Amino acid sequence: MGLSQRYYALLLSLALNTQGYALTTDKSLSGDWLLHSAYLVPADVYLPQSSVHHSPLWQKIQIPNNWYLAGYDLSGAVWHKRLFDVDSEQQNSTARLNFQAIDYAADVWLNGHYLGFHQGYFDPFSFDVTGLLQAKDNLLVVKVDSPNEMPDKEWSLHKKLIKGVLNHHDTRPAGAWSIKGQDANSGGIWQPVTLHFSKNVSIENIVVKQQIAKGVLAKQLSTAQLDIGIELNTILPLQHLQTQIILTDEHSQQRQDYWLDTAQCTAITKQKWHCQLGMTVSNVNTWWPKGYGAAALYQLNIAIKQEGKILEQAKQRLAFRTITYDAANNAFLINGRRLFIKGTNYIASPWLASMNRDSYARDIDLMQDAHINAVRVHAHIAGQDFYDIADEKGMLVWQDFPLQWGYDDSETFTEEAQRQARRMIELLHPHPSIFAWSGRNEPPWNADWMKYKYPDYNPQQNRDLTAKVGAVLATDSTRYHHDYSATGEHLWMGWYSGNWRDHAKRTKVSIVS
């Protein structure tokens, strides 16, 4: 956890604990794990009594990690496991097992109980493990599957994994255009693993939407509206709980307090509730990119209480700003003010576990020192630390969905891409730094150079995929969306054609992506 994260975690604890004693705790499950290739291994590894646990082939790995970074040149299915203890209070608490990200797919077991399956390398997921924990030697087993694409000569035109540049790009080891372009697989539990404990209630999701006047130029607004959706799971009667919501300006530390009325909650099942709260926020400081104003950020803290004790708490960062694109004048506007975009392209690493808060901060500082104010996260989704730092430092982010060149054209693949695109928006929506979504990079139907690469090139390939992912991105009305980053928007003068001096000439495209 970075310094500012610890600072705001402390503020959250102080702000909420002045109102009651907290019964929530978190336990990190990062650190020492063991891994074992699933090749020619019995499938019962998830059972505590499995003979595989006695295999001398288990190897140590520090999690979070990509297995390649840890010195294991693997692909396909790899078993991961660790043992851990909990105290008696945690054993009897409401417990949720959280994975921040696994590349690419995962099956998860706890003490022999199957918890579920997840697919998508960037997408956080969790499981309710209440009642499954024991005091000593809990066995957590994760089968991580990060296969190579099918090894035929046209693998790169018909990919089935939504990993963007992490499995196909000319900056990867061995490049993009050979079968060895998949070497150094990016698989692994590459983001932290934690257990979250609460008491008889859990906050499963928070969705915050805001309404501020379009085109406002003021550094400070008199008011803005927040619409907050909270999904709860509780075995307690809702009328016995009190939900406090605190909105704090991170700079001034001024706070506004609200209480949720149970009349604002609707039952989904006997234990699941959806609560909706509208808030009017006064004296709002707007978020601006560097060079235009301060990157004003807020913390939204939610505490669910009973008789003065905090049973559950959660937080989310947010900011107030508007982004619009004026197509008539080919201009982006933030809070009504025209932006002069000075952008660059960014791939932090082919193995994202190598990046942390400090390394992302270093990269953004170097960009801003070079007078860059916007960065395109190219055909992948970075670690969460990157977006937190971009918010803090006022760096604008053009965010790609991880589709790079050619993909399977089946309906099944398109549906999975749409699902993951929705998850990208849900995950990254709170970040004010993100000003644009882009659905993919150079789809085959827009990249006729591919006819020289592939004997089976189809000039219509992935049209439906492009349109349907773009339609998902268009559901976010708070940002600009770009269905695809077109070949014609990539100006390679001095590299593939022409001379570097040609960049001084007037471009024929409105957006150079």
> pLDDT by residue (tens digit) across 346-389?
999 999 999 999 999 999 999 999 999 999 999 999 999 999 99
Tell whether the model's pLDDT for residue 497 goes beyond 90. no
Distance (Å, rounded) from C-alpha 279 to C-alpha 256?
A: 10
Q: Are residues 369 and 435 in the same domain?
A: yes
User: Which of 286, 318, 350 is at the close of a domain?
Assistant: 318
pLDDT at 372: 98
Distance CA 84, CA 32 (A): 10
pLDDT interval class at 19 (50, 70, 90): low
Q: Are residues 492 and 393 in the same domain?
A: yes
Question: Structural domain of residue 366, as residue ranges?
Answer: 341-504
Same domain, 303 and 356: no
Report pLDDT for 3.
42
Other Cβ atoms closer than 10 A to 220: 10
Token pair recorded at residue 112: 């022999």
**Does 384 reside within a domain?**
yes
User: Bridge-partner residues for 188, per DSSP?
Assistant: 103
Do residues 149 and 255 both lie within one domain?
no
- Total domains in the chain come to 3
Q: What is the pLDDT of residue 178?
A: 81
Q: Which helix (H) or strand (E) holds 331?
A: strand 331-334
**In a 3-state reduction of DSSP, which class is residue 157?**
helix
**CA-CA-CA-CA torsion for 57, 58, 63, 64, nearest 10 degrees?**
40
Residue 272 lies in a domain: yes
Shared domain check, 34 and 174: yes
User: Quick one: 191 and 204 in the same domain?
Assistant: no
Of the three residues 197, 230, 259, the one that is the final residue of a domain is 197
The letter for the amino acid at 334 is I
- Contact (CB, 8 A) for 112 and 45: no
More confident residue, 275 or 18: 275
- The reported pTM is 0.93
- The two three-digit tokens of residue 260, written as one number: 């949720």
Range in 68-77, 102-111, 167-176 with the lowest mean pLDDT:
167-176
pLDDT tens across 41-55, in order? 999 999 999 999 999
Q: Is the pLDDT of residue 326 over 50?
A: yes
Q: b/e per residue, 15-43, with b = 16+ CB within 10 A?
A: bbeeebebbbeebebbeebbbbbbeebee
Q: Which amino acid is at 80?
A: H
- With contact defined as beta carbons under 8 Å apart, do 300 and 15 qualify? no
